[in-house]
Amino acid sequence: MSTLLKDRTVLVVEDDADTRELLRFVLQDNGANVVAVASVDAAFETYRQSPPHAVISDIRLGRSDGYALIKAIRETDVEYRGFTPVIAVTGFASPDDEDRAMAAGFNAYITKPFDPAQVVTALGRLLHRSGDLAA
């Protein structure tokens, strides 16, 4: 087990159970505490009650989407929290999709299928940049 993400809480928002569990396993294997949910409503409730160090979210999430979540997170960040790194992990793979996600407030964009190490590396980089991980 790696300790790259030791003592960091990551909120995973993914409606596909297999992908959600893969992300949970990989992040926990790298030392993170993981809270995994399947909907935007559950994600924002979790986020408000116990803000994580970072969020990894799918964009297409049943009735809602990751854009609604990132909007709520960014509004909450401005008002209360500061900065929360958020990574989009999605099946939308066009450059326009990536541009839209980044403009909406995501900090990284990873397309499915993904290499789990890519997610860990991107998350570690964002947490380090935000000052949440020591150099």
Q: What tens digit of pLDDT does each residue of 28-59 get?
A: 999 999 999 999 999 999 999 999 999 999 99
Q: What tens digit of pLDDT does each residue of 81-94 get?
A: 678 999 999 999 89
Largest CA distance in the chain: 40
The single-letter DSSP state of residue 133 is S
The whole-angstrom separation of Cα 127 and Cα 58 is: 19
H or E stretch at 10: strand 9-13
**What does pTM read for this prediction?**
0.92
Domain ranges (residues) in the chain = 9-129
CATH topology of domain 9-129: Rossmann fold (3.40.50)
Mean pLDDT, residues 77-105 taken together: 90
H or E stretch at 90: strand 86-90
